[in-house]
Structure 1
Amino acid sequence: MSLIKKPIQVVLIASAILMVMVLVGLIGVSFVMEADIHLWVYIVFPLFVGVVALLLFYYFIERFINQEIKAIYRVISKKKNIKINPVKLNENVFQSLSETTAAWAETQQKQIENLEEQANFRREFLGNLAHELKTPVFSIQGYILTLLEGGLEDETVNRDFLIKASRGVDRITSVLDDLDNISRYEFNRFNLKLTKFDIVRLTKEVFDTTQSSAEEKNITLSLFQNYDPIMVSADKGKIGQVLINLISNSISYGIENGHTQIKFSKVSRKQLSVEIIDDGIGIEEEHFNRLFERFYRVEKSRARNLAGSGLGLPIVKHIMEAHQQSITVNSTVGEGSVFTFTLDLA
């Protein structure tokens, strides 16, 4: 550990050394020249030289240190004209500068990590987006080529192929719509139309919309129990989209002959909790924090075989945040998942 922590210590030591040197010089001159020098000269002259040296050292060292610190801060802040409070030599300048530089280095490291994370995210985003668009395009291309090569005259396949091609178009349209929605949500380019409506009735309407998808895997959609009308205050269209996305998600990752239930609970006099409960494949806890990222897939190799844009949960999150409400997930692998969001009671 260094014993010198403040610049003023250097100035005092240098001045003291100079005073000693002058005193030794005077003694040497008097000895060589056998001159009779008064005692006060031995005291006053070295002291005078020491004081002058102290003032000069203080001025020039303080000026030098301030210029160097200003240059360092200019590099750190990336500003040509920067104002800093002049340091004094009796302050622990080096420790302060060291702490400031360390803080700047930590900030720079975080920025580098953020840039690397953003670069990785862009690569993953573009790769997933290319996959989501490429899959239906290749499917449509295959059906159309088959029809052009003679299948159009075959009444047993032409209508079926056209229907499948139309589904591919619908999937592309769905991806593009979700991209447009997520962009508007992220930049707050939408307005909520708050109304009072019955959330139980809206849920039943969503069941009707998603029933055909559920029947493909023989998944039962139901309410946790019979509920009286529950009035909430929110954007009905946006909350309908939240329910569609969450229920569709539970169907996509559900098991054959499984169940998806909706449960309503009043958590306070002013707030309602809505739970979407399924007995699907479940999600490992390590994925919880990333579930609401765009295109994030828990198991990409298996999930890519499932239809969907990969933007459903991010859209849900933005809608809930716009309502100043929360959404959480709790899940156990092999047992199922529970997505819970809140709404204001009307």
Structure 2
Amino acid sequence: MSLSPRFIAIILAFLISLLTTTFLAFVEGTTRSMLFVTSISAFITSFFLVLYTVDILVFREVNKMYRTIHKLKMKDFNMTPRKKLIHESNPMKTINDEIFVYVTKKQKEIDELKKLELFRREFLADVSHEFKTPIFAAQGFIHTLLDGAMDDENVRERFLIKAANNLDSLDVLVKDLLVLSQMETGDIKMNLMPVDIRLLTMNIFERLENIASDRNVTLKVKPDDLSEVWVNADLDRIEQVMLNLIENAIKYGNEGGKVIVHFNESKKQVEVSVRDNGPGIPQEHLNRIFERFYRVDKSRSKERGGTGLGLAIVKHIINAHDTKIAVMSKPDKGTTFSFKLDKVVTNNAPAELPEQTVQEGID
């Protein structure tokens, strides 16, 4: 039932008139004419008094509040049109519900902005730190040479090599940041084509052979009987993904351990997994390892190189292939990164991969 100001005024005026007339009926000497006049007077007076009170002091103020909410709200809030407010069975409850919905959504926006602000501060701090290290190192070597060490031929060559290495690291960092920025803004488009990901993996094994030998790590592809695995992917980008995951598995796994790349084929997709038997990643870090510059063990990560952007780039590349990357890890059991790619069944696929151009050393 609609609780308009007029309806409320009529009900309350009738009740007041009824109570007044009933009370006077018990007073000795009261005539019917007096009761009739009193009843009509009480009804009319009460009606206008209640109508003014409810309409002017309550409903109009509520409508002002409602109009304010409509000015502030976003289009997707799906609020009830203002003109229907007075026809609600409980307008105060309606306005309360609308305010609750509005405040809840605004609070979510505020929480999200706080998270973004925290992320921005952390990112700026990380970028400043990552830039500062190679710049200060190269600066120190060069100033040492300018201060007189240049006269010593052995010192000069050694310091110049160290300065050049630090500047090379800075160059890799800048390039990784540029790639990541282009990925996030969608400026880089995937050039999908048939790719033999098994052959690509074997080529990467050859490129990382020296690193694996230094740590006595065995590299293996499973199943053993697969001669080729064709997927639909961007060759350069998927090579970047595999290079990053395999190199990380070698660097952060156990010395004398194993790195296994496993291909699991179904009718439409191929699941690719890169597994090591290293120390694993603690559970509290799993949700953050794909963040920019995030390192599980900062001291060990620094010792083994890398920009800290590799896994963030990997995530964006895999997402650009309309799939997701997953990670599973147990302490002292190893870590497995896995993702799925669309399978390609063709007899006309290229037999060889073009020259590899992806940079090594991505962390």
Q: CA deviation at 1:56?
A: 6.6
In structure 2, distance between residues paired with 1:146 and 1:54: 95
**Aligned residues of 1:20 and 1:46 also touching (Cα < 8 A):** yes
8 Å contact 1:195–1:234 — kept in the other structure? yes
Q: 1:336 to 1:150 in 2, by over 3 A?
A: farther
Distance in 2, matches of 1:59 and 1:89, equals: 18
Q: Does 1:69 align with 2:67?
A: no
- 1:233 maps to 232
Asked if 2 retains the 8 angstrom alpha-carbon contact of 1:277 and 1:337, the reply is: yes
Q: What is the CA distance between 1:155 and its match in structure 2?
A: 4.0
Q: What is the alpha-carbon distance in structure 1 between the residues aligned to residue 149 and residue 92 of structure 2?
A: 82
Which shifted more, 62-71 or 118-127? 62-71
* 2:309 aligned residue (305, 311, 315): 311
In structure 1, how many angstroms separate the alpha carbons of the residues matched to 2:279 and 2:159? 32
| Pair 1:92 & 2:90 matched | yes
Match of 1:179 in 2: 177
Q: Which residue of 1 aligns with 2:138?
A: 140
The Cα offsets for residues 6-58 of structure 1, whole Å up to 9 and x where unpaired, read as: 78796466424531575379769x96xx6x74x26624751575267447734
In the alignment, is the contact (CA less than 8 A) between 1:232 and 1:343 conserved in 2? yes
Aligned length: 335
Partner of 2:336, secondary structure, is strand
Which structure 2 residues correspond to residues 1-346 of structure 1 after superposition, within 5 A? 11=9, 14-16=12-14, 18-20=16-18, 23=21, 37=31, 39=32, 42-43=35-36, 46-47=39-40, 49-50=42-43, 53-54=46-47, 57-58=50-51, 61-62=54-55, 64-79=57-72, 84-88=82-86, 91-226=89-224, 227-266=226-265, 268-300=266-298, 302-346=300-344
- Give the Cα–Cα distance (whole angstroms) in 2 for the partners of residues 157 and 225 of structure 1: 52
**Following TM superposition, by how much is the alpha carbon of 1:335 offset from its aligned partner in structure 2, in angstroms?**
2.1
Residues 23 and 42, structure 1, Cα contact 8 Å, conserved in 2? yes
Aligned residue in 2 for 1:3 = none
Please give the root-mean-square deviation of Cα atoms over the aligned residues, in Å: 3.2
1:149-169, Cα deviation, whole Å (9 max, x unpaired): 444344444333333322211
Give the letter aligned to residue 258 of structure 2: H
Q: 1:324 to 1:17 in 2, by over 3 A?
A: same
Q: Which runs of 5+ in 1 are unaligned?
A: 1-5
Change (3 A) 1:326 1:74: same
Moved more, 149-158 or 303-312: 149-158
- Amino acid of the structure 1 residue aligned with 2:275: I
Letter in 2 for 1:176: V
Measured in 1, the distance between the counterparts of 2:97 and 2:105 equals 12
- The AA in structure 1 aligned to 2:218 is T
After superposition, the Cα gap between the structure-2 partners of 1:216 and 1:140, relative to the gap in structure 1 and judged at 3 Å, is: farther
Pair 241,53 (structure 1): closer, same or farther in 2 beyond 3 Å: same
Partners of 2:9 and 2:301 in 1: CA distance: 71
The answer on whether the counterparts of 1:125 and 1:294 sit within 8 Å (CA) in structure 2 is yes
Distance in 1, matches of 2:10 and 2:286, equals 61
Secondary structure class of the residue paired with 2:286: helix
Note if contact 1:7-1:93 (Cα within 8 Å) is conserved in structure 2: no
Question: What CA distance in whole angstroms lies between the structure 1 residues aligned with 2:245 and 2:184?
Answer: 19
| Structure 2 unpaired stretches of 5+ | 74-78, 345-363
Using the TM superposition, give the Cα deviation of residue 287 of structure 1 relative to its aligned residue in structure 2, in angstroms.
Answer: 2.4
Name the CA distance, whole Å, in 1 between partners of 2:99 and 2:42.
38
Between the aligned partners of 2:303 and 2:64, the Cα distance in structure 1 is 57
Matched position secondary structure for 1:330: strand
In structure 1, C-alpha distance between the alignment counterparts of 2:132 and 2:217, rounded to whole Å: 29
TM-score (structure 1 length as normaliser): 0.83
Q: Does the CA contact (< 8 Å) of 2:67 and 2:82 recur in 1? A: no
